[in-house]
């Protein structure tokens, strides 16, 4: 049986490649489990200092494998709330709670939950030919995998509603113009740029980067007072790290810092 998620660790970067290219890397249960295991490993393994998520073949991810939801097979209607609880939501939470940077290289179409998993990552690069499709309305579902949350938050209601109610594709360059992703890059350059970015993050001050990620995420729901307190606590922690001492020493010695991630 072929692996549904390829996993490779090099230079502190754990690369997770969704690997059901014949189905545009849509999710079956096996791929759900494999992706979740991959991100759990990133939580648990201190050798992992950044994650790079991408897809094999011409697509990034087409969301749920609809072949596994064929109503023509009969039987009761599927319990989709349960599958969100079992599969999509834990993965989303693992990505957001990982105190290490997650780079997503969207190599091709990202549809349904596939689009929204990409948007949950910390820095998203997309090939110019890639498109993001909130495909749910085409099949009578609502945008899940955090889509209503991230789209409303990043784009505001007018664009979030238009994208989700029409299911119109959004090309990568426009997604970047709208601030939904970090960058759209030439297709041929995508993986080089994404790998270089992930490698430079993995060589960074991991503890400080993890705290920064959490602060930015928490800012949306914190008051300024709460956020100032959270910054104080995080800076207290960062100030005790070996990487802070190294960063300042390297500056004073006019050389590049060699961060250990601690």
Number of residues counted as binding ligand T3D (CB under 6 A): 23
Alpha helices in 98-223 (DSSP H): 113-120, 147-155, 157-166, 172-177, 190-202, 206-219
Q: How far is the CB of 120 from ligand T3D (least distance, A)?
A: 13
Nearest to ligand T3D of 78, 156 (CB atom): 78
Q: Is 64 in the site for ligand T3D (CB under 6 A)?
A: yes
Nearest to ligand T3D of 66, 250 (CB atom): 66
d(CA 234, CA 80): 38
Q: Is 71 in the site for ligand T3D (CB under 6 A)?
A: no
Q: Is 23 in the site for ligand T3D (CB under 6 A)?
A: yes
181 Cβ contact partners less than 8 Å away, ≥ 6 residues apart = 106, 118, 119, 124, 125, 126, 172, 175
Torsion-angle region of 161 (φ positive above 0: left; ψ -120 to 50: alpha; else: beta): alpha
Q: Is 135 in the site for ligand T3D (CB under 6 A)?
A: yes
Among 56, 109, 118, 211, binds ligand T3D (CB under 6 A): 109
Q: How far is the CB of 8 from ligand T3D (least distance, A)?
A: 25
Cα of 190 vs its chain's centroid, Å: 16
Burial of 191 (0-12, 13-18, 19+ CB in 10 A): middle
Among 80, 137, 191, 215, binds ligand T3D (CB under 6 A): 80
Q: How far is the CB of 85 from ligand T3D (least distance, A)?
A: 10
Q: Is 65 in the site for ligand T3D (CB under 6 A)?
A: yes
Among 5, 14, 18, 24, binds ligand T3D (CB under 6 A): 24
Shortest-Cβ-distance residue relative to ligand T3D: 63
203 Cβ contact partners less than 8 Å away, ≥ 6 residues apart = 11, 12, 49, 259
Cα of 16 vs its chain's centroid, Å: 11
Q: Is 139 in the site for ligand T3D (CB under 6 A)?
A: yes
Contact 23, 57 (CB under 8 A): no
Q: How far is the CB of 91 from ligand T3D (least distance, A)?
A: 12
Nearest to ligand T3D of 119, 133 (CB atom): 133
d(CA 138, CA 72): 18
d(CA 182, CA 123): 6
Q: How far is the CB of 145 from ligand T3D (least distance, A)?
A: 6
Among 40, 69, 128, 174, binds ligand T3D (CB under 6 A): 69
234 Cβ contact partners less than 8 Å away, ≥ 6 residues apart = 211, 212, 214, 215
Binding residues for ligand T3D (CB under 6 A)? 23-24, 26, 62-67, 69, 80, 83, 109, 111-113, 133, 135-136, 138-139, 141, 144
């Amino acid at each position: 049986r072929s692996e549904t998620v390829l996993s490779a660790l090099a230079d502190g970067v754990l690369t997770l490649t969704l690997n059901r290219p014949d189905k545009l890397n849509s999710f079956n249960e096996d791929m759900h489990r494999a992706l979740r295991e991959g991100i759990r490993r990133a939580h648990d393994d201190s050798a992992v200092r950044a994650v790079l998520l991408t897809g094999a073949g011409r697509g990034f991810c087409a969301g749920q494998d609809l072949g596994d939801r064929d109503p023509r097979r009969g039987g009761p209607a599927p319990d989709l709330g349960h599958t969100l609880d079992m599969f999509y939501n834990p993965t989303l939470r693992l990505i957001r709670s990982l105190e290490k940077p997650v780079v997503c290289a969207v190599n091709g179409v990202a549809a349904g939950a596939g689009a929204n998993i990409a948007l949950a990552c910390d820095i998203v690069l997309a090939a110019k030919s890639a498109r993001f499709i909130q495909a749910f309305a085409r099949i009578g579902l609502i945008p899940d995998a955090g889509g209503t949350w991230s789209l409303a938050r990043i784009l505001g209601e007018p664009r979030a509603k238009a994208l989700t109610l029409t299911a119109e594709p959004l090309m990568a360059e426009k997604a970047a113009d709208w601030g939904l992703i970090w960058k759209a890059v030439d297709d041929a350059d995508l993986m080089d740029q994404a790998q270089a970015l992930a490698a430079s993050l993995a060589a960074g001050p991991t503890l400080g980067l993890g705290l920064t990620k959490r602060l930015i995420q928490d800012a949306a729901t914190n008051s300024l007072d709460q956020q100032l307190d959270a910054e104080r606590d995080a800076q207290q922690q960062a100030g005790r790290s070996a990487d802070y001492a190294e960063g300042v020493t390297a500056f004073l010695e006019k050389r590049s810092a060699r961060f250990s991630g601690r």
